[in-house]
Amino acid sequence: MEKKNIHKDHRQRVRTRYLKEGIGSMADHNIIELLLFFGIPYKDTNDIAHELVERFGDLNGVLDAPVEELMKVDGVGENTATLIRLTRDISLKYIERKSFDKVTVNGEDRLSDFLKMKYASETREIVYLLCLDSHGKLQRCVKVCEGSPDSATADNRTIVEAAIRFDSKNIILAHNHPKGFAVPSVADVKATEQIIPVLEAIGVTLADHIIVSADDTFSMAKSRKYSYLFR
C-alpha cells in the first residue's frame, strides 16, 4: 500500500505558488523547502529549510555548502545534500553555457566576469583550460586540476591531453588564488614558461594565463611584465 503523504496539500500549494508567481516572490526558506520536496517525499521540510537558512545564512549559502556540511543538518541525508549541490552546479553550468557566445579572448571584462563566476565560493585552487575557436570565442571550459587552498599543480601532460581531447588549437589557462591576490607567483610564471613550448610542439597556442582572486583577475598576456611570454 502506498504511504500517505499528510503534507500533500501544503506541498501542492507551494508548487502552485511557484508555478503561478515564479521564484521571485518566494523567500529563501520557501525556495529551499520546494527543492527539498523532491529529496524528502514523506516529511515536513519547512523546519529543515529554516534550519538550513539559519546555519548557512541564505539561499546562496545553502547551495554553496559542501555536501558533508549539509548532512550535519537533521533530516538531510546524502541524497538530499547531493540534490542541493546538484541544483547549484546545474545552475552554474546553464549560466556558463549561456555566456559562451559573449566571452572572447579579447573581451577582457566578459572573460573576467566569466572566470569570477566559475571560481565563486571555491576554497581550493583549481586549474581550468578554456578552449577557444579560431576567432577567439570560448567553446569549452574544462577542469584539469583541483588542489588545496594554497596550491594546484596541473602537469604538462594533463594539459596537453585535454587540449588534444577537445581538439583545441588556442587555449587559455586559468587558476585561482582563494586565499591571496590575483598576482602570479614565481611557480605560476615558471609553469607558464614550461608549458608554452610543449603546447607549441603539438600546434596549440597558449593565448593567456589568468589568475583569479575573490574580487580581481590578472591577465599575464596583457601585463607589461609577462606579455613577452605570449608573443
CATH 3.40.140.10 range(s) for the chain read: 105-230
Q: Which CATH class is domain 8-95?
A: mainly alpha
- The separation between the first and the last C-alpha atoms of the chain, rounded to the nearest angstrom, is 72
Q: Is the pLDDT of residue 2 over 50?
A: no
CATH 1.10.150.20 range(s) for the chain read: 8-95
* Local structure of 38: helix, strand or coil: coil
Q: Which CATH class is domain 105-230?
A: alpha beta
Count other Cβ atoms within 10 Å, centred on residue 180.
14
Q: pLDDT tens across 105-150, in order?
A: 777 788 888 898 888 878 889 999 999 988 888 888 888 988 766 6
What is the model's pTM?
0.69
Q: pLDDT tens across 13-39, in order?
A: 888 888 888 888 899 999 999 999 998
Q: Is the pLDDT of residue 80 over 90?
A: yes
